[in-house]
Amino acid sequence: MPLLEYLELWLGLEDWGCTTVYPPTGLEKAYNSILNGDVGFSELNNIIKKIVHTSLYENNIYLTIDDRIQRIVAKEYQDDTPDPTGQAHANHTYETYPTNCVSVIVSDPKTGEILAMLSSLGYDLNKMVQTLMQPKDPLSYYNQLKNDPNNLMYYRPTEGLYDSGSTFKTATLLGALDAGTTTLNQNWEKQQAYAPWAIPKTADSPGTTVYGDNLGYGQYVFHFPLTTEFGFADSNNIMFAHIGANMGEDKWLDYSKRLYFDQAVPSDLSVATSSVLQHDDKLTNVNFVNDAYGQGVDFVTPSKWYWSIISLRIMVS
């Protein structure tokens, strides 16, 4: 579902009185007082109009969404057909998993303006409007969507929590560089950049072994040491497990919180809380080390990750 339709739905729900049961969210909620004319340039005029019992002025808000780009994104997604066999290419040994769920955010990298947002699976907005207008059981379609196990009303760019994977290496590297526990030119020998790392069991944490050979040792890489910069470009799990451990859990968690993990994101949209902690709000040593390279319990919304990375991109430029 495109962002514009998501916003229009909540405006429609309010028009048909459904927000007494299902209140609005997102931009419509954040700017409700402006849209209604309670604040802004029409506030004084509306005070007068209330006195004389005439229609109130309402304000507009303008989004950065580019409808042309939004339509292209929607079409490209619709034209993409997932591989039904579960294996993308015959020459790949790993399985792929076809899905019809997607979250897309398109932005201007220079300004951070969001030009398009797409969430799928979605629903038929026209049918929603039609059922809301019928006198008998106007919430029938809404309730059907609300109870659908596929979460059809789930807006994935802001509410979907996904395994961050190796993208979290970016956060770990930024924290380690700022804390001074690594440099881009730091050398890493074979033992810390290639050899599996056995992490022993402790009183409050199980043991594990960190694997990950992205180097293609003997095929693409033939010597050590390697630099941190090379390891980042190569997405080296073992190296980044060591980088996180060298920072220490407390310092690493501090930098994670600076990126608004495990706390509310200051946004006009309703955004689910991204987290690097376990469900009990704790972190075992194993999960901490695995988190550092993105294979632990770190889960993030696409929009929150986008805002973090684009903010850093703008500050650097």
CA distance 258 to 278: 18
Q: Is the dihedral of CA 255, 271, 114, 155 positive or negative?
A: positive
Measured from the Cβ of residue 65, the count of other Cβ atoms closer than 10 Å reads: 18
Q: Which amino acid is at 257?
A: K
Whether residue 101 contacts residue 149, with contact meaning beta carbons closer than 8 Å, is answered with no
Confidence class of residue 170 from pLDDT cuts 50, 70 and 90? very high
Q: What is the mean pLDDT of residues 88-108?
A: 68
Is the pLDDT at 306 greater than 90? The verdict is no
Q: What is the DSSP letter of 18?
A: G
The tens digit of pLDDT for each residue in 263-291 reads: 988 887 788 999 999 999 999 999 999 99
Residue 148, phi-psi category: left (phi > 0), alpha (psi -120 to 50), beta (remainder) = beta
Q: Where in the chain is the domain with CATH 3.40.710.10?
A: 163-316
**Main-chain phi, psi angles of 143, to 5 degrees:** -65, -35
Mean pLDDT of the chain: 81
**pLDDT class of 240 with cuts at 50, 70, 90:** very high
Return the bridge partners of 162, or none: 300
Q: Is the pLDDT of residue 61 over 50?
A: yes
Please state which of the ranges 40-49, 183-192, 242-251 shows the lowest mean pLDDT: 40-49
Q: How many residues does the chain have?
A: 317
Is the CATH number of domain 163-316 3.40.50.150? no
Q: Could you identify the residue written with the tokens 């994935």?
A: 156
Q: Comparing 150 with 255, which gets the higher pLDDT?
A: 255
Given this model, what pLDDT does residue 213 score? 75
Question: For residues 288 and 248, what is the distance between their CA atoms, to the nearest angstrom?
Answer: 9
Measured between alpha carbons, how far is 129 from 138 in angstroms, rounded to an integer? 9
Confidence of residue 60 (pLDDT cuts 50, 70, 90): confident
